[in-house]
Amino acid sequence: MLKLVTPSLEDMWFREKLLADKETMSYNHAWGGTIQFPKEKWDGWYDKWVSNHENKRYYRYLKDETGFVGEIAYHYDSEYDGYVANVIVFSKDRGKGYGAQGLELLCQAARENGIAALYDDIAIDNTAITLFIKHGFYEEYRTEDKVVLKKDLIN
């Protein structure tokens, strides 16, 4: 069973490790793969996403009994005039159902925060599309590069 944790600034080491891991970030190959998140960026990022999120951003770590295993987030995106989901599970912790649990926890948090729908744009060849569809997302549209999925949270 996963718990949601609001990370401290000092916990950003895990995000740095997560984003730098090639296997974890392989899903992101269409957008450049790994992402550099050096310590000098932590303060500004943390302020925007955790301390002063302005109800436009939500960010939590996923934690099991061994420690941090991933992150979930959503943020407002004017392209969709809505909120875009993010679920990343560390590669060594995949295959344990954490992606599904994380997605459900993210949808629950968004619903509790009054978000009417979540979107995600996923590379056309990413197997995560199936996970999102299994959890109530539907295809809004697709391009040659991505599939845009949506889940209505409030009926």
- Domain CATH number, residue 10: 3.40.630.30
Are 149 and 119 in contact, with CB atoms under 8 Å apart?
yes
**pLDDT score, position 28:** 60
pTM for the complete prediction?
Answer: 0.91
Task: Tell me the residue range of the domain where 101 lies.
Answer: 3-115
What letter does residue 27 receive in the DSSP assignment?
G
How far CA 48 is from CA of 27, 36, 53, 56, 111, in Å, comes to: 25, 17, 5, 10, 21
**pLDDT score, position 155:** 67
**pLDDT score, position 1:** 85
Beta bridge partners of 119: 84, 150
Residue ranges of the chain whose pLDDT lies below 50: none
Does 26 map to a domain? Answer: yes
Report the distance separating Cα 37 and Cα 46, nearest Å. Answer: 11
Q: Domain total for the chain? A: 1
Are 84 and 119 in contact, with CB atoms under 8 Å apart?
yes
The model's pLDDT over 17-51, given as tens digits with 9 standing for 90+, comes to 999 888 877 766 555 567 788 899 999 999 999 99
